[in-house]
Structure 1
């Protein structure tokens, strides 16, 4: 019954949205999109699981592989995706129209879904023990238009590693994993939940180690950036590594456009939370979704539809 009601709502609201000329979210042929990330990362797994649950609730929607946070925000801002996953720092840049974004984008948050770890991966045999040791090495900083590249560049700059002092590679997660395994690079950056599937598979054939990112580097990165970064430790035993490794965390948001109708975002937010237990069976990071923490998305404003869900769930209605 609910699926039929949501499907009818979807048709009516998107038809009105298109007639109002509010953007291409409503005007594209075929199903709507959740912008995910690399096929071997958590973004894509999360978006695929969420899309499946939304289809069961009556939405006509699919998950798409993308380049990551910047790409996702651009797609949502242009109306090419209804929803997308993005790092908090990159989403803040999109709202302000700075960094990778020439102009402010109409980005609203649906929820803070989980916190991501910055993972600086090297072979266990590497002589590099700190970020500054990357000078002279071949380093993948992430794919173009990814949040990984945004953070990698900021980490390297804060640690005093000049761009011309190392051999820069721009691979996504899949390319970075393959290049490290084949000895074509010496290190790569990744930002995601732990364990990230692609890195976990790599660790089974190639012993790995994580380079720490200390509090001094994090503090320098956080200056003027709404305090979105914080120091944390990677979970013990991640990727068969030994000992505790200090790194940094950044929140991860599910975002939408401010132009998407309120009722659609309300229904999408409802599915996000009601299906979290089912999706977490295959995507463990989903278990970290917490309704009490989900509303803390500053400086990215919550979409009115998401606000409606949080008020109703708080009131038990």
Structure 2
């Protein structure tokens, strides 16, 4: 069979066009695979936080904005009554992730205190920054130490919050029950307003520091930080191990000296039924974008990969563990690779 030059040129053009289409198809496949690798199986990442002015909400909002940008999912925060409500919402599958305090998480996994049954569908992603128990009163109140609260009107935190759980536990540790004080269940902003108006004698605002409500209160108010004696707290911590003795640093709220108090680690938790691959990606994105979270609120300065597995209360999710194992392996191999490179350079210079 004979071909004309015109026919041959047409056949060649078809061949080249087909090759180009094939290559383009391969590129599209590669691009699709990359998108697929970055995508999450879940289409929603709703993160339970706390009050609008608290660190949970501020850090959580920054985190969900990061998740939405990276993964293209419907990521948002939900303002709640904080820890206890968040854990119940996780159990009801109304949240994917949440910020909670370790005391409330301890009750949830054991089915004690605020929880009539164990919450099984919760796993920990990380231990975070410490929440400081910030007990505040006015300077003229005469309240200097936690033992001075008996008979006083005290805001103990929003009902169903980790703040309230911690308040009750700490007071009990010092031999004070709710029957010994006049209780008001108020969140951060309401408690600060109550102090300013004189309707309260004292308030518990347990959060990372500084607390924005207290920073506002400090302006034009004679704010007195109430101490929690360290030696007595160490005794309390023998049965309530989530309490850690720490100091509120000097000049946090105009205080000239550091003030001893109790602290409780915060936790980032996730539903256990979310896939290992998704939780790995969420954990990795959390730690690789820590600078963004630190810019949102300085409490995030105390979050680190190095301390993320310290003081775990709930089982660690396998996806989070995969990320930590990966980080540990990279840290182990780095010195060996550096030594090998140095040896190679030395051998090369000898030649």
What corresponds to 1:315 in structure 2?
A: 329
Equivalent residue number for residue 149 of structure 1 = 164
Tell me which residue corresponds to 1:22.
none
Match of 2:285 among 250, 254, 271: 271
Residues 1-317 of structure 1: pairs in structure 2 closer than 5 A: 4-5=35-36, 9-10=39-40, 13-14=41-42, 31-58=44-71, 59-105=73-119, 106-225=121-240, 227-316=241-330
Looking at secondary structure, tell me which structure has more helix per residue. Answer: 2
Are 2:100 and 2:266, in contact at CA under 8 Å, matched by a contact in 1?
A: yes
Q: Over the residues paired in the alignment, what is the CA RMSD in angstroms? A: 1.9
Query: How far does residue 109 in structure 1 lie from its aligned partner after superposition?
Result: 0.6
User: Contact conserved, 1:68 with 1:147, CA < 8 A, in 2?
Assistant: yes
Contact 1:222 1:228 (8 Å CA) reproduced: yes
Larger radius of gyration: 2
C-alpha displacement at 1:258, in angstroms?
A: 1.1
Q: Tell me the matched-pair count.
A: 298
Any unmatched runs of 5+ in structure 2? 1-30, 332-351
Deviations 1:170-194 (A, max 9, x none): 0011111111111111110011111
C-alpha contact (below 8 Å) 1:140/1:170 kept by paired residues:
yes
Give the Cα separation in 2 of the matches to 1:69 and 1:41: 12
1:290 Cα deviation from its structure 2 partner? 1.0
Secondary structure, aligned partner of 1:154: helix
Q: Distance in 2 between matches of 1:86 and 1:178?
A: 24
Secondary structure of the 1:149 match is helix
- CA-to-partner distance for each residue in 1:97-120, whole Å, 9 max, x for gaps? 111111111221101111111110
State the Cα deviation string for residues 60-82 of structure 1 (Å, max 9, x = none).
21011111111111112221111
Deviation at 1:202, TM superposition (A): 1.1
Decide whether aligned partners of structure 1 residues 102 and 3 sit closer, same or farther in structure 2, where only a CA change above 3 A counts: farther
Is contact 1:41–1:196 with CA below 8 Å preserved after alignment?
yes
Task: Report the equivalent of 2:20.
Answer: none
Distance in 1 between residues matched to 2:254 and 2:35, nearest whole Å: 47
5+ unaligned residues in a row in structure 1: which ranges?
Answer: 15-25
- Post-superposition shift, 1:129? 1.4
Distance in 2 of aligned mates of 1:217 and 1:151? 16
For CA contacts below 8 A with separation 6 or more, give which structure has more relative contact order: 1
Contact 2:111 2:117 in 1 (8 A): yes
| Aligned residues of 1:91 and 1:107 also touching (Cα < 8 A) | no
Contact 2:51 2:82 (8 Å CA) reproduced: yes
Matched residues in 1 for 2:127 and 2:217: separation? 29
Q: Distance in 2 between matches of 1:174 and 1:140?
A: 11
Q: Secondary structure at the match of 1:72?
A: helix
